[in-house]
Amino acid sequence: MTPVIPPTTSHVFRDNSVKALANPQLQRALSNIRRDFVDSRGRALADLPEEEYAALKAEAKALKDHTLAHLDFYLERFAAKVAETGGEVHWCATAAEARETIIALCKRYNAKTIAKGKSMVGEEIDLNAYLEAAGLRPIETDLGEYIIQMKGDRPSHITAPAIHLTKEDVGDLFAEKHKRPRKSEIPALVGEAREMLRPRYHEADIGLTGANFLIAETGSSAIITNEGNGDLSQILPRAHIVLASIDKIVPTLEDALTISRILARTSSGQEFTVYTTFSTGVRRAGDVDGPAAFHVVLLDNGRSKLLGTKQEPILRCIRCAACLNHCPVYKSVGGHAYGWVYTGPMGAVITPALLGVERSGPLPNASTFCGRCEAICPMSIPLPSLMRHWRETEYERKGAPAAYRHGLGLWAFVAKRPRLYALATGLGARVLGCFGRGRGRLSALPLAGGWTGTRDFPAPEGATFRAQWRAAHGRG
Ligand code: SF4
């Protein structure tokens, strides 16, 4: 089966970004992020007293840190509970193992059609391509994923996969593929998708969903959605497969609810999502619905290697997407520029962890380090520090371009010698001050074309900050 290496263009982020910035349709679509996510998050948090939100954040962080410190214990507890409730856990170290396990399960149940709920881990392992290569028919039932699948596209956002499209794009797509009169309003488009999808749940042999949480004390999986498609996918077909990564585990039902309280607010700006669904095992005698078979495919794919390292905090991520929605880089170039599944600041940290910094070096460099992502993250993940760590790793492995490495080396040489540093910066400030005299800014600078190509550089006053400070305050 091909491909073996997940398709990625993270290594050419810069080229991808140039194209994204020059795409007016994409820029129009991205302009909705403020209205749809940033403003609604602000309103949802305004309803929660500041101290209560701070306490919730601290509790969520502590419970995730505790779980990660005892991950083996909670995973084994979860697997034992799943077995007690008639299900089975499949441990998969790699993406290939997870795909093979799912395809083997499809064969076991003689399945042809799979109704899929939204799963970023499914994207991570490129599941649909492999299911189709095995003669199976995956049907995405989340509206955004349904649009993406129909278009032969990839998600560009972890909670709103089709955010790079406008309603006009979707109207054109539906008219072409559904062969129905073109609709232009969102409720009508949603209604049409619902009408097309409803019979698919009944045709499906297997329902496959992701999980927001795996609960160790009960062996349950939980999904948090607004469309109800995940519920239909998991209760109508005769077998339910949950595909989730090991970091989704939480000890108790109460812990899942604690995190849910901040997840919905920071993600979609809701107090709670419309559906919060817990699934436990197979259908029992007397149940009105539910699957006859229940499987959990648990994927590691490099995550356990992060435990105990500087990168461990990224395993606290609950995929709320707040860091994407508030990132000036993401909001300018969109998700496809990042070249793989995970985008924005969290993608710039987790992609090097999963794919290797050699294949994704530009991502941790695609940040202004404004710190907004860390400030906004409900799980208090120090995203800029983690990106800086990947930058250092790339530098140590000589992955960064030679000019960049030599430039940094030269700067380090000078910066470690205070007299030389004062001399060099004093000279530089005087020269730049001379050139910028009159206008107060410079429109071209040698070696800084990347900056001056799109904006002017403010000309220094003719003296360095240190010199100005000394003049104002004396040596002390
Ligand atoms: S890193 Fe934080 S803000 Fe970003 S998706 Fe994860 S939990 Fe949300």
Structural domain of residue 367, as residue ranges?
A: 305-400
Residues 425 and 340 in one domain: no
Question: Which of 376, 377, 387 gets mutated to test ligand 1 (max ligand atoms within 8 A of its CB)?
Answer: 377
How far apart are the C-alpha atoms of 208 and 131, rounded to whole Å? 12
Contact, 282 vs 234, CB < 8 A? no
How far apart are the C-alpha atoms of 28 and 45, rounded to whole Å? 27
Nearest to 20, CA basis, from 355, 335, 459: 335
Ligand 1 pocket by C-beta < 6 Å: which residues? 317-323, 346, 376-379, 381
**CA nearest ligand 1 atom 7, residue:** 317
Contact, 386 vs 314, CB < 8 A? yes
Q: Phi/psi of residue 328, each to 5°?
A: -65, -30
Nearest to 282, CA basis, from 83, 6, 35, 136: 83
Residues 108 and 146 in one domain: yes
Residues 48 and 126 in one domain: yes
Task: Annotate 309-347 with b (16+ C-beta within 10 A) or e (fewer).
Answer: eebbbbbbbbbbbbbbbbbebbbebbbbbbbbbbbbbbb
Specify the pLDDT at position 124. 96
How far apart are the C-alpha atoms of 451 and 375, rounded to whole Å? 26
Cα 333 to ligand 1 centroid, rounded to whole Å? 18
Specify the pLDDT at position 336. 97
Ligand 1 closest atom vs CA 376? 3
Q: Is residue 408 part of a domain?
A: no
The residue among 266, 301, 336 that closes a domain is: 301
Cα 356 to ligand 1 centroid, rounded to whole Å? 20
Collapse the DSSP code of 278 into the 3-class scheme (helix H, G, I; strand E, B; otherwise coil) and give the result: strand
Cα 446 to ligand 1 centroid, rounded to whole Å? 38
Residues 326 and 297 in one domain: no
Element holding 139 (H helix, E strand) = strand 137-140
Specify burial of residue 115 (Cβ count, 10 A radius: 0-12, 13-18, 19+).
buried
How far apart are the C-alpha atoms of 334 and 153, rounded to whole Å? 14
Q: What is the torsional sign of CA 68, 73, 79, 82?
A: negative
Q: Is residue 187 part of a domain?
A: yes
Give the tens place of pLDDT for each residue, 359-402: 999 999 999 999 999 999 999 999 999 999 999 998 888 777 78
Q: Is residue 454 part of a domain?
A: yes
**CA nearest ligand 1 atom 8, residue:** 320
Residues 333 and 271 in one domain: no
Specify the pLDDT at position 4. 47
Contact, 63 vs 216, CB < 8 A? no
Q: What is the torsional sign of CA 179, 185, 191, 194?
A: positive
Cα 78 to ligand 1 centroid, rounded to whole Å? 24
Residues 371 and 293 in one domain: no
Question: Which of 379, 383, 385, 387 gets mutated to test ligand 1 (max ligand atoms within 8 A of its CB)?
Answer: 379
Cα 335 to ligand 1 centroid, rounded to whole Å? 15
Collapse the DSSP code of 452 into the 3-class scheme (helix H, G, I; strand E, B; otherwise coil) and give the result: helix
Task: Annotate 33-55 with b (16+ C-beta within 10 A) or e (fewer).
Answer: beeebeebbeebbeeeeeeebee
Element holding 102 (H helix, E strand) = helix 95-108
Residues 163 and 257 in one domain: yes
Ligand 1 closest atom vs CA 320? 8
Ligand 1 closest atom vs CA 267? 8
Contact, 110 vs 86, CB < 8 A? no
Cα 319 to ligand 1 centroid, rounded to whole Å? 5
Question: Which of 317, 329, 341 gets mutated to test ligand 1 (max ligand atoms within 8 A of its CB)?
Answer: 317
Q: Is residue 5 part of a domain?
A: no
Cα 346 to ligand 1 centroid, rounded to whole Å? 6
Cα 345 to ligand 1 centroid, rounded to whole Å? 8
Ligand 1 closest atom vs CA 314? 1
The residue among 246, 279, 301 that closes a domain is: 301
Contact, 353 vs 175, CB < 8 A? no
Nearest to 352, CA basis, from 393, 324, 398, 309: 393
Ligand 1 closest atom vs CA 344? 4
Q: Is residue 23 part of a domain?
A: no
What CATH number did the domain enclosing 292 receive? 3.40.50.10420
Contact, 343 vs 332, CB < 8 A? no
Question: Which of 381, 386, 387 gets mutated to test ligand 1 (max ligand atoms within 8 A of its CB)?
Answer: 381
Residues 430 and 396 in one domain: no
Residues 132 and 262 in one domain: yes
Residues 249 and 373 in one domain: no
Nearest to 183, CA basis, from 195, 199, 198, 197: 195
Cα 212 to ligand 1 centroid, rounded to whole Å? 13
Contact, 242 vs 121, CB < 8 A? no
Q: Which residues contact 458 (CB under 8 A, 6 or more apart)?
A: 436, 440, 441, 442
Residues 86 and 163 in one domain: yes
Cα 419 to ligand 1 centroid, rounded to whole Å? 43
**CA nearest ligand 1 atom 6, residue:** 317
Give the tens place of pLDDT for each residue, 43-54: 888 888 899 999
Q: Is residue 188 part of a domain?
A: yes
How far apart are the C-alpha atoms of 349 and 314, rounded to whole Å? 7
Residues 107 and 195 in one domain: yes
Give the tens place of pLDDT for each residue, 234-268: 889 999 999 999 999 999 999 999 999 999 899 88
Question: Which of 323, 330, 367 gets mutated to test ligand 1 (max ligand atoms within 8 A of its CB)?
Answer: 323
Cα 322 to ligand 1 centroid, rounded to whole Å? 6
Tokens for 326? 């508030």
Q: Is residue 13 part of a domain?
A: no
Domain count, the chain: 3
* Regions of the chain short of the pLDDT cut 50: 1-4
How far apart are the C-alpha atoms of 292 and 255, rounded to whole Å? 28
**CA nearest ligand 1 atom 4, residue:** 323
Contact, 456 vs 443, CB < 8 A? yes
How far apart are the C-alpha atoms of 77 and 72, rounded to whole Å? 9
The residue among 400, 432, 463 that closes a domain is: 400
Cα 298 to ligand 1 centroid, rounded to whole Å? 21
Q: Is residue 22 part of a domain?
A: no
